[in-house]
Structure 1
Amino acid sequence: MADDRTETSSQVSSQGDHGSVDSGFVSPSSSTAHLPAVSLTPAHLNHLNKQLESMDPMDILRFCKVFFPGLYQSTAFGLTGLVTIDMLSKIDAESKNPQPIDLIFLDTLYHFQETYDLVERVKERYNVRVHVFKPADVETTQEFENLYGEKLYENSSELYDWIAKVEPLQRAYSELKVAAVLTGRRRSQGGQRGDIPVIELDEERGIIKINPLVNWSFAQVKAYIDEHKVPYNALLDKGYKSVGDWHSTVPVAEGEDERAGRWKGQDKTECGIHNKQSRYAKWLEQTARQQRGQQEVPAA
């Protein structure tokens, strides 16, 4: 998938070389090693959210392009992210000096082929740069499974999320010097997303998160896709509404929540990148203590 519009990164130390429990970051070169590029007081953040709450997503995006330095879009090429990409292209077309927003794509190595095909179609349609970040030190699914074993996503889902998603994203933030990031989260998706604001501060990562389509419903998103003929994942025509890894995504039944097909049957609604970093740092620390304890137990 690599070409002149794609940048792939697999640099960083192994996941076992993790940092403090508080930070949740794996190395001193991570994005908490320096102050955030944008600092907003709670009062300022509240003021911005009050002003942006009733604004159209296009106007929110126009504002964010002017206001935030180091702005990127993190996307798995779901419908909401695709709408954002299309809107940004239209905003650039209005300008005599367009400044496209680069994309960050986490290649877990377990995406559907339809997702990889969509990435190529988006790059061709919008001429946008895609920075691809994979799990550290591996390039293929086979290399990943040689290192961590088969079905890590089943045998240790927390470890899988850390290696395949959380660590690559924080590496992306660090290497690209990301200050603010556009996401595809919407309140209508439910779960932990039910009351998110337009702009929020991820204090652990030192990142401003912006949810430009936070107020839109799935129907509004799909209507925009259809009206503007935005390329989308072929799986949506097969009953999928939210597409992640092939091993944890199934079609959605009539009347189900649009993210009901993600981790179906599991007590889980997020893949990790929108969870607190300290959750994974504490888990890693606990795992390390358990391993040390087992090593110290004398043989019978």
Structure 2
Amino acid sequence: MAAVSQPIASTSALPPAVPAASSTTAPAATAATPRIFDRSQLADVNAQLADATPQGILAWAIDHVPGLYQTTAFGLTGLAATDMIANLSKRRKTAHLVPLIFLDTLYHFDETMDLARRVEKKYKAPLHIFRPPGVETTKEFEAKYGERLWETDEDTYDYLVKVEPARRAYEELGVKAVITGRRRSQGADRAALEPVEIDSTGLIKINPLCRWGFQDVKDYIEMAGVPYNPLLDQGYKSIGDRHSTVLPKDGEGERSGRWASNKTKTECGLHKDYFAMKRAFEKKQLEQERAAVDKARGDDEVGESSISFDDGEAAKSEDLGASFSDLKLGA
């Protein structure tokens, strides 16, 4: 994964320390002068947040990280974070401090869509919804990109319903940092999560509940009366698209019910290398365009395109040489 050379804007060269884990109250707002926050300071930031509560991490992020949004699919961890932000906002006597970004894949459960509306209403949280490029409904998606695309080309599906809409959201909204619902106890590539990360694109990721387990989150939801997805009462623990989410078996991990047909998969694309996914998608698109032109010309063989490229186009084609098999998980 390529490193990002440019610095990331933040609000202090070295953010003030936050309360230790024994504190249940988030710190009050502090004045901060925008400074430079880059990878060289990441270890120091996480060291300062090592004993902070989720509320403390959230308060630190709100006070010291610009362009902050919460990306959420309204899972339990994200809901707990939203509730904590709402409580902090009330104590500061202000509107909900962190806007929400929801990626509508067009294949969510009805219960998930209903929950999104309930959360927006309860917390009066600004909610920004982004969908796959150029479509608004499932019917439009399938007409443009094909039916059951997750079965025929899962990586392209992930790019279209999650990765591209997320990047578009970040660009349109001016997002510099996002609050996520990832936790170490979810295992796989999340097992070593720190409170703060910077991914391959330079996006800052805040993981306020990274040290909590599933039961910790569930207890908070019940104690605080946070609205949640009713599918959880049926035994689901992690809920994604309806076509790829199943009930986990007894003893299985909480994300075992995701991507039922692909047990080696642990992420949907949002936490992979964006640049590699974009190159691979564009390469496939270019190949499809070539094939369509060859077919229109009546060529029987499609393997080698009859299209000629000038030097600029050839260089672009070469640059798109990454394949999905080369993808590496990002931060």
The structure with the larger Rg is: 2
Q: Does 1:236 align with 2:232?
A: yes
Contact 1:196/1:214 (8 A) holds in 2: yes
Give the Cα separation in 2 of the matches to 1:175 and 1:285. 21
Amino acid at match of 2:137: T
Give the Cα separation in 2 of the matches to 1:152 and 1:97. 43
Contact 1:239/1:253 (8 A) holds in 2: no
Q: Normalising to structure 1: TM-score of the pair? A: 0.84
* Aligned residue in 1 for 2:59: 62
Give the Cα separation in 1 of the matches to 2:61 and 2:189. 24
Give the Cα separation in 2 of the matches to 1:180 and 1:216. 21
Identity %: 47
Shift of 1:254: 1.5
User: 59, 82, 90: which one pairs with 2:79?
Assistant: 82
Shift of 1:293: 6.7
Give the Cα separation in 2 of the matches to 1:291 and 1:128. 41
Shift of 1:278: 2.6
Give the Cα separation in 2 of the matches to 1:191 and 1:299. 45
The secondary structure found in structure 2 opposite 1:263 is coil
* Aligned residue in 1 for 2:314: none
- Residues 281, 208 of structure 1: alpha-carbon distance in 2 compared, 3 angstrom cutoff: same
* Aligned residue in 2 for 1:116: 113
Shift of 1:288: 4.5
Moved more, 136-145 or 101-110: 136-145
* Aligned residue in 2 for 1:211: 207
* Aligned residue in 2 for 1:181: 178
Give the Cα separation in 1 of the matches to 2:93 and 2:127. 23
Give the Cα separation in 2 of the matches to 1:76 and 1:101. 15
Shift of 1:96: 3.4
Give the Cα separation in 2 of the matches to 1:35 and 1:135. 30
Give the Cα separation in 1 of the matches to 2:279 and 2:113. 33
The secondary structure found in structure 2 opposite 1:93 is helix
Q: Does 1:299 align with 2:300?
A: yes
The secondary structure found in structure 2 opposite 1:136 is coil
Give the Cα separation in 2 of the matches to 1:74 and 1:251. 24
- Residues 133, 289 of structure 1: alpha-carbon distance in 2 compared, 3 angstrom cutoff: closer
The secondary structure found in structure 2 opposite 1:192 is helix
- Residues 93, 285 of structure 1: alpha-carbon distance in 2 compared, 3 angstrom cutoff: closer
Q: Normalising to structure 2: TM-score of the pair? A: 0.76
Contact 1:102/1:130 (8 A) holds in 2: yes
- Residues 168, 192 of structure 1: alpha-carbon distance in 2 compared, 3 angstrom cutoff: same
* Aligned residue in 2 for 1:163: 160
Give the Cα separation in 1 of the matches to 2:284 and 2:94. 51
Contact 2:8/2:38 (8 A) holds in 1: no
In structure 2, runs of 5+ residues without a counterpart are: 11-35, 302-331
Structure 1, residues 47-91: CA drift from partner, whole Å, max 9, x if none? Answer: 010111211000111111100111100000000000000000110
Shift of 1:123: 1.4
Q: Does 1:48 align with 2:49?
A: no
Structure 1, residues 82-125: CA drift from partner, whole Å, max 9, x if none? Answer: 00000001101111345521000000000000001111111121
User: 190, 195, 202: which one pairs with 2:192?
Assistant: 195
Shift of 1:35: 7.7
The secondary structure found in structure 2 opposite 1:246 is coil
In structure 1, runs of 5+ residues without a counterpart are: 1-21, 24-31
Q: CA RMSD in A?
A: 2.2
By relative contact order (CA 8 Å, sep 6+), the higher-ranking structure is: 1
Contact 2:76/2:218 (8 A) holds in 1: yes
Give the Cα separation in 1 of the matches to 2:289 and 2:278. 16
